[in-house]
Structure 1
Amino acid sequence: MFLGIDIGTGSSKAVLVDRDGEIIDSAVVAHAVSLPKPGWAEFDAEEVWWAEVGLLSRELFSRNDAVDVAGVCVSGVGPALVVTDENHTPLRPAILYGIDTRAGAEIDELNHEIGEEVIFAECGKALSSQAVGPKLRWISNHEPEVFEKTARWFGCSSFIVAKLSGAYVQDHHTASQCDPLYDIRAGEWNEPRVKEIAGHIPMPRLAWSSDVVGEVTAQAAEFTGIPQGTPVCAGTVDAWAESFSAGIRKPGDLMLMYGSTLFFVLMLSEFRASDKLWTTAGIEKDSLTLAAGMSTSGSLTTWMQQLFGGVEFAELLAEAGEVPAGSEGLLVLPYFAGERSPIFDPDARGVIAGLTLRHSRGHLFRATYEGIAFGIRQIIDFLEAGGEPIERLVAVGGGTQARLWTQIVSDVTGRPQMVPTQTIGASYGDALLAAIGTGAVPPDTNWATDGTLIEPDQRNKEIYAELYGHYESLYPSTREHMHALARVQGRPKIQDSPEA
């Protein structure tokens, strides 16, 4: 059997799968992102990520015989940045992907030093809060003592690979999101950029996601229960492992991942680039993808659930289901954590427009789903404009369990969505990568099978077309106000005097 482990934004999951794709057992543990300052999003890589790998593995092997494990592969949130000493001990909390927007000044700095056109040509995308290079520069600028002590740097999955096997590697896909350190056309580290940004820190060797890069060490075996000597594959970013689990393998295949954030992965037939999207290496050798991501999705609906006093999701869904399409003129811009694609604006803020005393929490909950769906439609339009026709849309992630949400997305976009039979996610893709990497199954093995097909309801086409027009114009018309309010939010709090 094969062990797949995924470290997500809201939880970590592990699954044991046999060579036929049948799930033997699974385990999950929840966690929360640390948000210590406005625009910061972090995790303790040692005390959360690595600790949960041990916790999940030991739970699975309390019910299953570990001796049968033939390979392990790990995916994780990304691109993230973990800096460590030579013993792989983190020197500070891990800095997360695009939802961490602290490095805005460093993006400007690198654009000025290197040139925006040069970066786009070398990386296939513009620098944004998603990129790792500016985050590494931020550490150099703001925490020079940490930077000087840094001997290794990792993504989320490669950190776990190092803890399991001692290997200092990075998979090509994750590397291709470490702009501007990786040359997307050459498929190698970009040495001039490495010297400019990483300085004294050596680069990890590159591997493809299913490549076996090491074996579980005695120390890791004692901590996790995974047998010493078990092959360890390079792994990758969670969204790409999830796309692999869903059978996104051919040009024109698009994965829409409903998670804490929303993510898109479109397989390409040839190199394409857009200033609104991310061109990246795929996880199979010499493959390419076009990707996009929204900063909020499930995290926004969870926030709203908490705002309503922790009412059960089923109750909110029922109330939202009674509200007509269009939420009776209520419109939400879902930029509650800034936004990644397609506006790349860390200072964007959420907007609720058209709110009246008539609107209920059911209206607001449905309008939130609809606002996210309008963002999805906007990004899909950019993906197709990028030159690759979308032939198939596969929906994955925990959000697919809310049928109302997926139906709204199909209604807004006018596109059918296929939800696979198996929706356990990235950890399932990891297990498949482990099976392929160890040679237990052929490289073209696909465990995904079609499940539910969600067709657009044409009765809602007109109202959603009207509201989408307002959605597209609402951000440009409120951007200056958003930015002004973001500046207010970023100011230090004025403490009341003891006499007050």
Structure 2
Amino acid sequence: MARDITIGLDCGTGGARALVCDAAGQVLAMATREYPTHYPRPGWATQAPADWWRAACGAIREAVERARIDPARIAAICADGTSSTLVALDADLEPVAEAILWMDNRASPQARRIEATGHAALRRSRAGVSAETALPKILWLREEAPERFARTRWFVEMADYLALKLSGRLTLGQNLTINRWFYDPRAGGWPEDFLNAIGLQGITARFPSEMPALGDPIGPLCAAAAAETGLPADVLVVAGGTDAYVAMVGLNTLRPGETALITGTSHLVLPVVAEDVEIEGLFGPHPDCVTRGRFVMEGGQVSSGAILRWWHDLLHEAGDGYGPLLAEAEAAPAGANGLVVLDFWQGNRNPFTDYDLQGAIWGLTLKHSRADVTRALMEAVALGTANILGRLSAKGLAVDSMTLAGGVLRSPFWVQMHADSTGTPLRIPEVGDATAFGAAIAAAVGAGLHPSLEAAADRMVRIRDEVHPDPGRTAQFRAQLDLYLETHAALRPLMHRMAARSRASPAPVAAPPAAVPA
């Protein structure tokens, strides 16, 4: 029997998604399981690794059942995860505490101190050091939670934890460490002098030494994983990585001149470049983190789809769909009757890289409706994307088109808004869940069904449509962007003062954090 089926397991902010496809790129089935996020303090966000695994096993079982295939045809599985979601493991490979989620910005002071060193290793963080990333969080644990730090034997990311649960082998993926941990395969690996300079002497002893690249085989399923997922024991586990970077494979944006726009809880703009160029306000260029011999630039928004979910959940009962909310917003006038919003609910990743910023809505009057607010929130997210592209263009890296993936695809209205705000055509793939699909493609490469990520994506990824910007609406968005930037400049000092007050306030003690779907 041919073993021509792979599974992509995407564990995002809100839940686990399993996608089953064949080697030609035909998606046979998908299934999703949600898990909660906890927000114990302002700016903090945590998740329980046990919840990830429970959801992953449920999604895998359901997807395979829906696919109506003989499980013996499944060759490999690959898991991706949210980037910079830090997992601390003890000597028995069990989590020491809940994982510190990517959007958690408690380590903002540590990030600023790391940035202040001015070390040469920071050249790929010309935007500034992100408080989301692993090293500031590890430093926070060392300084603010020393008992937890002392109990930690290994630091890994979400995708590594999933690979561990699947295979029983402890790894630390290169895709993640290159774009988030300052690992540089072209400069000898770990920058030990930099780690010493920022107060993390000897920390690499707590990093797993096995570091597979995206698409590399790790090993077969362990017995426990085979029992819990229902998969055959000889299914190969293949290395994944950062969800958005894995989605680049699912979009086939792997060559210079191609750009992925990944949307969901957060947004990411990911151009591929051939040269080692630096752009202030953006992260990168990250060498060899997706495919060898090429670089990836990164511009991201911390909270994008998360803002719309927050607003929806304030207004609606759990389980209510987004349809009525989006229909109201589409009926509201462009510009939302003068409302201005800053999309900084969890700070700003790019181009300001400032996690002491907060969200803002101003211009409210008694004439404004719920529809105006919804539209203003959606426009702010689109303007945040336009702001990133503007920084790229100003530095000579114009983006001529983007291939779109993720949650925005569920709303043609929001798709068009992104095209209009950026003035950029958007290519629409046949498979919109590009992250899980990209993981399945990487699994096919690891299993030897295709010789490389590029060859696999060429065979398996197809574009079904293209959305073009409306010139008149693009001109209107340019005027809105000016006001967006002026608002940021005016409110930034006040927001910094508020963030300092929040850090100085005592931790809440009245009740445990509520579980909120993310």
2:361 counterpart SS class: strand
Aligned pairs for 1:133-172 (under 5 A) are: 133-172=135-174
Name the CA distance, whole Å, in 2 between partners of 1:122 and 1:263.
16
Name the CA distance, whole Å, in 2 between partners of 1:318 and 1:199.
51
1:170·1:205 contact (CA, 8 Å) conserved in 2? yes
Larger mean CA deviation between 165-174 and 154-163 belongs to 165-174
State the identity %: 27
Are 1:492 and 2:506 counterparts? yes
2:215 counterpart SS class: coil
Aligned pairs for 1:164-243 (under 5 A) are: 164-180=166-182, 182-183=183-184, 185-186=186-187, 188-193=189-194, 197=200, 198=203, 200-243=205-248
Aligned pairs for 1:222-301 (under 5 A) are: 222-279=227-284, 280-281=286-287, 282-301=289-308
2:417 is matched with 408
Name the CA distance, whole Å, in 1 between partners of 2:230 and 2:35.
22
Give how far 1:405 is off.
0.9
TM-score, length-scaled by structure 1: 0.92
Are 1:421 and 2:430 counterparts? yes
2:44 is matched with 40
1:2 is matched with 6
1:466 is matched with 479
2:60 is matched with 57
Aligned pair partner of 2:466 in 446, 453, 477: 453
Name the CA distance, whole Å, in 1 between partners of 2:400 and 2:235.
39
1:14 counterpart SS class: strand
Call closer, same or farther: CA 1:129–1:192 in 2, change over 3 Å: same
1:371 is matched with 380
Name the CA distance, whole Å, in 1 between partners of 2:480 and 2:447.
50
Give how far 1:219 is off.
2.1
Larger mean CA deviation between 187-196 and 438-447 belongs to 187-196
Name the CA distance, whole Å, in 2 between partners of 1:307 and 1:330.
19
1:76·1:237 contact (CA, 8 Å) conserved in 2? yes
Call closer, same or farther: CA 1:250–1:345 in 2, change over 3 Å: same
Are 1:28 and 2:32 counterparts? yes
Aligned residues: 491
Name the CA distance, whole Å, in 1 between partners of 2:509 and 2:428.
51
1:116·1:126 contact (CA, 8 Å) conserved in 2? no
Call closer, same or farther: CA 1:77–1:111 in 2, change over 3 Å: same
2:515 is matched with none
Larger mean CA deviation between 56-65 and 204-213 belongs to 56-65
Call closer, same or farther: CA 1:122–1:349 in 2, change over 3 Å: closer
Name the CA distance, whole Å, in 2 between partners of 1:126 and 1:228.
45
Aligned pair partner of 2:329 in 296, 320, 342: 320
Q: For residues 41-79 of structure 1, what are the alpha-carbon distances to aligned partners after superposition, in whole Å with 9 as ceiling and x for unaligned?
A: 11111x211222222222234454322110110000012
Aligned pair partner of 2:132 in 130, 133, 141: 130
1:272·1:386 contact (CA, 8 Å) conserved in 2? no
Name the CA distance, whole Å, in 2 between partners of 1:359 and 1:384.
35
2:17·2:31 contact (CA, 8 Å) conserved in 1? yes
Which amino acid counterpart does residue 160 of structure 1 have in structure 2? L
1:169 counterpart SS class: coil
Which amino acid counterpart does residue 311 of structure 2 have in structure 1? M
Name the CA distance, whole Å, in 2 between partners of 1:353 and 1:259.
25
Give how far 1:156 is off.
0.7
Name the CA distance, whole Å, in 2 between partners of 1:382 and 1:206.
33
2:516 is matched with none
2:263·2:405 contact (CA, 8 Å) conserved in 1? yes
Give how far 1:342 is off.
1.2
2:389 is matched with 380
RMSD (Å) for aligned C-alpha atoms: 2.2
Give how far 1:202 is off.
4.2
Q: For residues 268-297 of structure 1, what are the alpha-carbon distances to aligned partners after superposition, in whole Å with 9 as ceiling and x for unaligned?
A: 111122331111243222332001211111
2:126·2:281 contact (CA, 8 Å) conserved in 1? no
Name the CA distance, whole Å, in 2 between partners of 1:159 and 1:319.
41
1:73·1:434 contact (CA, 8 Å) conserved in 2? yes
Aligned pair partner of 1:355 in 341, 360, 364: 364
Which amino acid counterpart does residue 74 of structure 1 have in structure 2? A
Aligned pair partner of 2:348 in 333, 339, 344: 339
1:389 counterpart SS class: coil
Which amino acid counterpart does residue 187 of structure 2 have in structure 1? A
Name the CA distance, whole Å, in 2 between partners of 1:312 and 1:432.
31
2:34·2:55 contact (CA, 8 Å) conserved in 1? no
Which amino acid counterpart does residue 408 of structure 2 have in structure 1? G
Name the CA distance, whole Å, in 1 between partners of 2:21 and 2:349.
34
Are 1:430 and 2:433 counterparts? no
TM-score, length-scaled by structure 2: 0.89
1:411·1:461 contact (CA, 8 Å) conserved in 2? yes
Q: For residues 384-435 of structure 1, what are the alpha-carbon distances to aligned partners after superposition, in whole Å with 9 as ceiling and x for unaligned?
A: 3444332431111022111111111111111111111111221111110011
Give how far 1:495 is off.
9.8
1:283 counterpart SS class: coil
2:106 is matched with 102
1:384 counterpart SS class: helix
Which amino acid counterpart does residue 184 of structure 2 have in structure 1? D
